A and B are shown apart, each in its own frame.
Chain A
Amino acid sequence: MEGLLPKLVFVYLGIVLVATSILVVTNRNAVHAVLWMLVMFLHQAVLFIMLDAEFLAAVQIIVYAGAVLVLFLFVVYMINLRTELRLHNFTVFWPGALLVSIALLLLSVQAIKAFRPAPPVGDMTTEKIVKLGHAKLLGRALFTEHVLAFEAVGVLLLVAVLGAVVLTRRIRLKGEGV
């Protein structure tokens, strides 16, 4: 009985994740697609908690649901998509795309069939997570072993912010004559 509940939760989360991602892909209305994606990200955060990664679940909610989706919503509101509701939302070659996707799925399932997990390394066991906390373990690895990559990601985010500002500013000067 004790082993049944996590499986039920996993099946529920999996069904919701797949269903909401299909809804995002097939939805005509971009605002509805963004909101379905919000549901998907929240369920994915619960999946991360099931995997003992509570810090990543928090980051998932803060960064994706808090920042990225708000960015998407702003752009959807800036761009008038009312005509979108009457147009085809797939390209003419969507059956080919479906074929390619199913082929990718079948090939990857064949590859995963022979999957055998490696022996565990053991520097993040469940006991350690309970004792120290996931954030502490992750932060210790991040600021000792991966500190160079961390700095590089900081620079990348700075460049991305500056790039977004520069890209959207220049066209306004040129296009609307300000």
Chain B
Amino acid sequence: MIPISWYLVLSLFLFVIGAFGFIARRNVIIMLMCIEIMLNAVNISLVALGKGLQHTAAHVLVFFVIAVAAAEAAIGLALVVLLFKKTREVHMDEFRTLKG
């Protein structure tokens, strides 16, 4: 039996790695992937707490997080394609004006 805190520490490490990537990477696609890493870290901690508390609500929440992550990926990648077609650029630090 593995204690819940091990899972929490693992999910914390994954979340921090994803947050670092989101702040520091220049490529928009990799930044979206870092958001997915962070959502997955939260999912690990939710599933572990759901097992620890023996409660279904945490697992239902994970289900919803996965659905929202899929919607977010679709919209985010559509925006990336839009930005690339408009500016021929996928590096976040090159966008200096919001209106293009």
Residues of A bordering B, CB below 8 Å: 3, 6-7, 10, 14, 17-18, 21-22, 24-25, 27, 30, 33-34, 37, 40-41, 44, 47-48, 50-53, 56, 59-60, 63-64, 67-68, 71-72, 75-76, 78-79, 81, 84, 87-94, 97-98, 100-102, 104-105, 108-109, 112, 115, 117-118, 120-125, 134, 137-138, 140-142, 145-146, 149, 153, 156-157, 159-161, 163-164, 167-168, 171-172, 175
* Given A24-B37, A63-B70, A172-B85; A121-B14 close (CB under 8 Å): no
Q: How many angstroms from the CA of A17 to the CA of B44 in the assembled complex?
A: 11
| Residue contact A68 to B36, C-beta cutoff 8 Å | yes
| Residue contact A52 to B51, C-beta cutoff 8 Å | yes
| Residue contact B24 to A75, C-beta cutoff 8 Å | no
- Which B residues lie within 8 Å of A24 (CB)? 21, 30, 33-34, 37
Chain B, interface residues (CB within 8 Å), range: 35 or more
| Residue contact B19 to A101, C-beta cutoff 8 Å | yes
Partner of A105, one of B1, B13, B72: B13
In the complex, what's the smallest C-beta–C-beta distance from A100 to chain B, in angstroms? 7
Closest to A24 in B: B33
| Residue contact B8 to A164, C-beta cutoff 8 Å | no
The 10 closest A-B pairs by CB, nearest first: A160-B71, A25-B21, A97-B23, A101-B20, A97-B24, A141-B56, A164-B78, A94-B24, A120-B54, A167-B78
B6 an interface residue at 8 Å Cβ cutoff?
Answer: yes
A sample of 16 more A-B contacts (CB under 8 A), given A64-B36, A87-B26, is: A14-B6, A21-B18, A34-B33, A63-B66, A75-B77, A76-B29, A79-B81, A91-B23, A108-B16, A121-B53, A138-B63, A153-B68, A161-B74, A163-B78, A168-B82, A175-B86
Q: How many angstroms from the CA of A109 to the CA of B93 in the assembled complex?
A: 31
Q: How many angstroms from the CA of A85 to the CA of B2 in the assembled complex?
A: 42
Closest to A94 in B: B24
| Residue contact B2 to A6, C-beta cutoff 8 Å | yes
In the complex, what's the smallest C-beta–C-beta distance from A26 to chain B, in angstroms? 8
B84 an interface residue at 8 Å Cβ cutoff?
Answer: yes
Partner of B25, one of A64, A89, A160: A89
| Residue contact B2 to A79, C-beta cutoff 8 Å | no
